[in-house]
Amino acid sequence: MKIFIDTANLDEIKRAAALGVIDGVTTNPSLVAKEGVEYKSRVLDICNVVDGSISAECISLELDQLCAEARRVAAWHPNVTVKIPMSEVGLQAMAILSAEGIAINCTLIFSVNQALLAAKAGATYVSPFVGRINDGGADGMLLIKECAKIFSTYPEIKTEILSASIRNPRDVTEAALAGSHIATLPPAVLFQMINHPLTDLGITAFLKDSQSYSPV
């Protein structure tokens, strides 16, 4: 499973990229607004750090404006993937833009039918919001499992499942077990995955025992 990081903070992205495990980055206007920077410049900064898919949101509501915005955003860098929310207009735009070779991340997916329609419209990725689904009392991982089963049943579907709204390390494990192609993680979750109390105890013991002999 590929791992993306969900942030617009450049220091966090650089720290994560240094681990050698990051395959892409997802952003949105809210994340960029927190940084107090211009959207395009921050996306380009991220492209210079991570050589992978960099999702940048498009927010226009009318078809012509949405397509025009997506084309402008996609032209920023070859690695930019345009994020388009699931909607009737969004599906129309995805059909047009995917035919032009523009990579698309269909965001705000909350049902299998939405994911299937986005895949049929040519989305490169579909992003089910696992945590938000759980917040509503449903099972976010069941949605991932059902999407994975349907997508694998029909080989003509090339769309990848990008599990979003990940809240904790266990969500990452569950997404991988459910067949998600990608999970996009908040930085805190990524770094929580590194640690385990037994690992810390083992390192402490090794350091103590190593004092009995000369350094290598």
Known catalytic residues are 83
Print the SS3 string covering the chain.
Answer: CEEEEECCCHHHHHHHHCCCCCCEEECCHHHHHHHCCCHHHHHHHHHHHCCCEEEEECCCCCHHHHHHHHHHHHCCCCCEEEEEECCHHHHHHHHHHHHCCCCEEEEEECCHHHHHHHHHCCCCEEEEEHHHHHHCCCCHHHHHHHHHHHHHHCCCCCCEEEEECCCCHHHHHHHHHHCCCEEEECHHHHHHHHCCHHHHHHHHHHHHHHCCCCCC
